[in-house]
Amino acid sequence: MAAPEILTRAAALRREIERHNHAYYVLDAPTVPDAEYDRLFRTLQALEVEYPELATPDSPTQRVGGGPLDAFPKVRHAVPMLSIRTETDTTATGARAFDARVRKELGLADADPPVEYHAELKFDGLAINLRYEHGVLVAAATRGDGETGEAVTQNVRTVHAIPLRLAGERPPAVLEVRGEVYMRRDDFERYNARQREAGGPTLVNPRNGAAGSIRQLDPAVAAQRPLSFFAYGLGEVAGWDDAPATHGATLDALMRLGVPVCAERRVCRGADELIAFHDDVAARRDSLPFDIDGVVYKVNRIDQQQALGFVTREPRWAVAHKYPAQEELTVVEAIEVQVGRTGALTPVARLAPVFVGGVTVTNATLHNQDEIDRKDVRVGDTVIVRRAGDVIPEVVTVVIDRRPHPAPPRFDILQSHPVCPVCGSHVVRLEGEAAVRCTGGLYCPAQRKQALLHFASRRAMDIEGLGDKLVDQLVERGLVATPADVYRLDLATLAGLERMAEKSAANLLEAIKASKATTLARFIFALGIRNVGETTAKDLARHFGSLDALTGATPEALMAVRDVGPIVAESLVQFFAEPHNLEVVARLRQAGVHWPENAGQRAAAGILAGRTLVLTGTLPTLTREAAKAMIEAAGGKVAGSVSKKTDYVVAGTEAGSKLAKAQALGVTVLDEDGFMALLASQGG
């Protein structure tokens, strides 16, 4: 056990080292020579080796990273990390439109004073949530999907700009700081120079360098990357008695707690001052020490933010105002196609190498045939290429004056690729769709993983345990090429895969075996036919009764099914016209996949025929799935949102915005008893 004087010495060393860290990494103003810093650090390390109890989580020595991880655990955010709406109009109109929306939502008249905003930079890095409890950093997580992110605490501890302990005597009991991990341009260049000298891999650009470092499974690798951090907001907060009343004051308070906040920010009043900030930053954008792709405007007063609230997953009180992406001239040397996971053939321009937005670009997406036609892109053309969103290169326009003579021929995907370049299945373009698609959904290697995951999903064949990582292994090792191959897997094969013990393999085999007994509706849905969702699959199964009747149906026969129009009918015809798909279906049936069949029937004229219902909240006794099945059995349709066309809303406890909208529109609202009474009236 360390003596009191040792404890005092260690605490003093921690404070002194962190003070020097803050001065060096945040203020860019070193206070001691490197040799003195190293001496202090080694002294603390030696004490912690001799007295292991001194190695607290907030010690500077913990920044070097721990052992490699197998994967990042998921963490649910206490307060969702919502995204901010992007204003793509890069002119002054974008700022004026935002100000006008805010004033309207706040009910302000033209004569009322201007709204006070806080304007700041939109950093180009990785969004992070830092959780401090009683001033100590205890967890860090990525944004993820906004609700759930990845726990990256060990890697975040390696970022010297992030304090492991907040400054001040009485920090809040809980303080979640949200901000951006980024990489300065000079740090990026120095790191790549060192890597080139050592013969190691270099980073593509600062943004990927930041995101890739934080999501590195080995914290020791992350510790070698020169990362920085800026805070821009808060998540969960508890025990902050004197919490500021404005966003700007909140950032000031975070600075006093030792959290880095960018100095490039300003309180603005009204649209004109927002525009001035946007223009000022735009003029200095290239001279900033880090990459940005726009600025962010936030209503400054917290009470006004609360009054404005949210729309879907975005706050009404904030917007990201983008800048035009950087552009350069280059030449289209070829146009090729790539087949995506959903079967879409995406045209890609192969370009003469050009340096755009900090990277050398050799490829640019042309999106689809409509875009090629609209821009009239041809091989040999000189084009303006842009990194859209500073990430994905795209061809903006053709410089017609530089087109070769004679003019090259127009590019047509269907003419150049009548069959899929990956699997040889027919390629089609359905009416009303921009994409050209491969029809070999069950067979095409490019679509293999997507097809398998959908086939095994809960609402399809419901093969529990057949998830992303396992499908990756099965496909990459050549063990599964189509869904039919799933039913040929054995215990030895599965048990030999990574992270698959014999018990897990046996459980998966049981799930595969159980999935053989299914329903026609589930099987149709599992095939992953374009535009055929779960409800349409049920309607098709009910109408035709057997798979053979469905596969042989004409477009006219298909359109006799409820809610099946020309596009869905064409999707079905094209899918079943592809021999590769029929071969896989036959193999599935040979493997023992079966379902009850009948002669088929037209949609019953039940009490809910032609009616649309919306379910919201938790019903006392019925699950959402049970209620949905009862509605469909009575001829009704279940929708996901409320509109003027909604006939009934069935509401349980904790019903939210759907109930409020139904009441506003005058839609009939039923509780569970009322819903059951409506269904019972079918019998007279």
pLDDT of 327 reads: 73
Task: With respect to residue 118, please indicate whether it lies within any of the assigned structural domains.
Answer: yes
Token duo for residue 449? 């993983």
Question: 358, 291 in Cβ contact below 8 A?
Answer: yes
Do 618 and 669 lie in one domain? The reply is: yes
Same domain, yes or no: 46 and 28 = yes
Q: Are residues 41 and 111 in the same domain?
A: no
**Has residue 427 been placed in a domain?**
no
Does residue 331 sit in the same domain as residue 315?
Answer: no
Same domain, 209 and 285: yes
The band of 632, judged by pLDDT with boundaries at 50, 70 and 90, is confident
The pLDDT, as a whole number, for residue 619 is 92
**Catalytic site positions:** 122
Number of H helices, E strands in the chain: 25, 24
Q: For position 533, which CATH number holds?
A: 1.10.150.20
Q: Is the pLDDT of residue 473 over 80?
A: yes
Same domain, 311 and 173: yes
- The whole-number pLDDT of residue 438 equals 93
- CATH number of the domain residue 170 falls in: 3.30.470.30
pLDDT of residue 70: 63
Backbone phi and psi for residue 420, each to the nearest 5 degrees, phi listed first: -65, 130
Closest CA to 363 of 325, 330, 326, 407: 330
Let me know if 51 is exposed, middle or buried by CB neighbors in 10 A (0-12, 13-18, 19+).
middle
Work out the angle between the directed axes of helices 579-590 and 566-577 (0-180°, nearest 10).
70
What's the pLDDT tens digit per position in 408-427?
A: 999 999 999 999 999 999 99
> Structurally, how many domains does the chain consist of?
5
In a domain, 440, yes or no: no
Rounded to 5 degrees, what angle do the CA atoms 584, 585, 587 make?
A: 65
| 365: Cβ contacts below 8 Å, ≥ 6 apart | 346, 347, 348, 349, 392, 393, 394, 395
Please report whether residue 94 resides in a domain. yes
pLDDT at site 20: 80
Gap between the Cα atoms of 249 and 258, Å rounded: 14
Same domain, 288 and 315: yes
437 domain-assigned: no
- 430 falls within a domain: no
Do 499 and 573 fall within a single domain? yes
Q: End-to-end CA distance of the chain, in Å?
A: 83
- Structure letter (DSSP) for residue 177: E
Give the pLDDT mean for 40-65: 76
In a domain, 432, yes or no: no
Can you tell me the distance from the alpha carbon of 434 to that of 428, in angstroms, rounded to the nearest whole number? 11
pLDDT above 60 (res 67): no
Angle between helices 206-214 and 185-198 (to 10 degrees): 80
Is 545 in the same domain as 522? yes
- Is pLDDT at 204 greater than 70 in this prediction? no
Q: How many residues does the chain have?
A: 684
How would you list the strands of the sheet with 136-142, edge to edge?
136-142, 126-133, 174-182, 228-238
Of 190 and 204, the one with more pLDDT? 190
**pLDDT band per the 50, 70, 90 thresholds, residue 285:** confident
Question: Is residue 308 domain-shared with residue 195, that is, in the same domain?
Answer: yes
* Final residue before a domain boundary, out of 292, 307, 322: 322
CATH number of domain containing 654 = 3.40.50.10190
Task: Please report the pLDDT score of residue 600 as a whole number.
Answer: 79
Distance CA 463, CA 24 (A): 54
CATH (domain of 47): 1.10.287.610
Q: What are phi and psi of 470, to 5 degrees?
A: -70, -40
Please indicate whether residue 145 or residue 107 has the higher confidence score (pLDDT): 107
Instruction: Say if residue 153 is in the same domain as residue 96.
Output: yes
Measured CA distances, 198 to 192, 194, 201, 568 (Å): 10, 6, 9, 57
Q: What is the span of the domain harbouring residue 669?
A: 612-683
Give Cα 323 distance to the centre of its chain.
22
Q: Given 603, 626, 651, which residue is the final one in a domain?
A: 603
136-145, 202-211, 373-382, 464-473: least confident range: 202-211
Averaged pLDDT for residues 600-622: 81
Phi, psi dihedrals of residue 106, rounded to the nearest 5°: -85, -5
| pLDDT at residue 65, as a whole number | 45
Q: Answer whether 593's CB lies under 8 Å from 518's CB.
A: yes
> At which of 603, 625, 655 does a domain end?
603
Q: Across all residues in the chain, what is the average pLDDT? A: 88
Return the pLDDT at 389.
47
Span 453-480, mean pLDDT?
93
81 falls within a domain: no
Q: Give CA–CA dist 536/541, Å, rounded.
A: 9
Q: The pTM is what?
A: 0.48
The CA angle 639-541-441, to the nearest 5 degrees, is 85
- Specify whether 130 is located in the same domain as 13: no
Which pLDDT score is estimated for 682?
A: 58
Task: For strands 612-616 and 637-639, give the pairing.
Answer: parallel
